[in-house]
Structure 1
């Protein structure tokens, strides 16, 4: 199925500044970019590169004081992979691919060592596999209120666990933290999300099960089969849509994701089906 995704971002630079963006859709695997366009106003030179370790696409822009406007738009095709949850197993640490091992460790926003005892007590007796990660998402969805403005850029998964409130990035951080505490590699994913209301950059997470990454969204606010990946990393610190070095005032941000074909008469499942990217 194909999706039209994109964003418009504006800033008023108060001094010469360098801005690093991670807003372009990832390439490869089961996500194919059919067309894309990036517009920068005023016209400025920019560096565009792909991180070797993650596949994230970074755009670095250096601009003088004044207004800057970016518009990114793309047509992206997604190939969904559906599997029986009961057949998807966890992988012992001794057999995990080496590239997944960093996603077992605590990180800035995912202090899995601090919540290990709770994770073991709450989820340790559940049969290992896809269903256990689903139960983690069920617990987060039931126990944590989705509340705009309840967190900020300093909020960790431990904070969210304590306050029992957060937004999508906090739900993802808590899911990652519980998974890592149980020995399941997990990573943060930013994306354009079809059916998300209101539209914004969305945060979910992936867990390594069987022989690939599987996508999970504890918020249950968007369709898993309609998520176009932008970036992935240990947590939100690796996938910020904008990192700014300088003094700026932020303007309005507009994000969109629209289905272009296929049967969209019924919402796609948000919990039993997953998309993977190898």
Structure 2
């Protein structure tokens, strides 16, 4: 599958501010960047640095003027949809060292608080069957409701309220997986069928010795997702983080399929 991505962001800046952007789609084994343009104007300072897990990059910016970022990319995705239920988990004592951190509770994913629930609700299932059951449980019981959560909402808050947006759905699945001793992480992505069009968020779970994308909202299949970056939770992969006051004046995102 080939998809086109077009993003335009604009912000008013009242005083000098530092920004961290993570919105570019990197090339991985299962997604290849065919074309890319990235225009951020002429801020006072720009630095590129590797993002979490070495997947993707962050752009560090210092500016004292209104800021605009225009991004366009064409990406070829070569990722089959797998039967997740057929995959086994890797025992904790055999996990690679760089995977172990994705077992740990984090700011938005306090997995230690849901271990009892996971044991009672999903304890009879194993590995991939458990992940599919968790995904289906979230999809069937949670309402997708824009505006129902904020930057402080954790997976436990969403678990109790049974509503949220893609960010919240992903946090809950990551949390439930970690509570089952299955490594899981948050992935910031682009996907063509997200409604309304926006940055999207899904979970990645570590089964069968590799990572697999899972979307609890049902809006994106693994075969059509373009990863931007990954992290313990949303705090590590925000498309823009501001260290100072700014105000968004424009946000436009379009992801379209060119070839299925």
Aligned residues: CA RMSD? 1.4
Gap runs ≥5 in structure 2: none
Gap runs ≥5 in structure 1: 263-278
Q: 1:152-200 deviations in whole A, cap 9, x for unaligned?
A: 0000011111111111110000000000000000000000111112100
**How many angstroms does 1:6 deviate by?**
2.9
Deviates more, 1:51-60 or 1:72-81: 51-60
**How many angstroms does 1:97 deviate by?**
1.6
| Contact 1:156-1:170 at 8 Å conserved across structures | yes
**How many angstroms does 1:45 deviate by?**
4.5
**How many angstroms does 1:42 deviate by?**
4.8
Q: How many Å separate the matches in 2 of 1:147 and 1:86?
A: 29
**How many angstroms does 1:84 deviate by?**
3.9
Q: How many Å separate the matches in 1 of 2:241 and 2:259?
A: 34
Aligned to 1:276: none
Aligned to 1:272: none
Q: How many Å separate the matches in 1 of 2:149 and 2:86?
A: 37
Q: 1:83-137 deviations in whole A, cap 9, x for unaligned?
A: 34443111111222221100001000000001110011111112x1222101101
Deviates more, 1:24-33 or 1:144-153: 24-33
Q: Does 1:117 align with 2:134?
A: no
Aligned to 1:261: 259
SS in 2 for 1:141: helix
Deviates more, 1:243-252 or 1:150-159: 243-252
**How many angstroms does 1:41 deviate by?**
3.2
Aligned to 2:31: 31
1:146 equivalent among 137, 144, 147: 144
SS in 2 for 1:255: strand
| Contact 1:22-1:231 at 8 Å conserved across structures | yes
Q: Which runs of structure 2 are paired with 1:75-90 in the superposition (5 Å)?
A: 75-90=74-89
Task: Normalising by structure 1, report the TM-score.
Answer: 0.89
Q: Does 1:6 align with 2:6?
A: yes
| Contact 2:51-2:229 at 8 Å conserved across structures | no
Q: 1:249-275 deviations in whole A, cap 9, x for unaligned?
A: 11121111111113xxxxxxxxxxxxx
SS in 2 for 1:72: strand
Deviates more, 1:197-206 or 1:76-85: 76-85
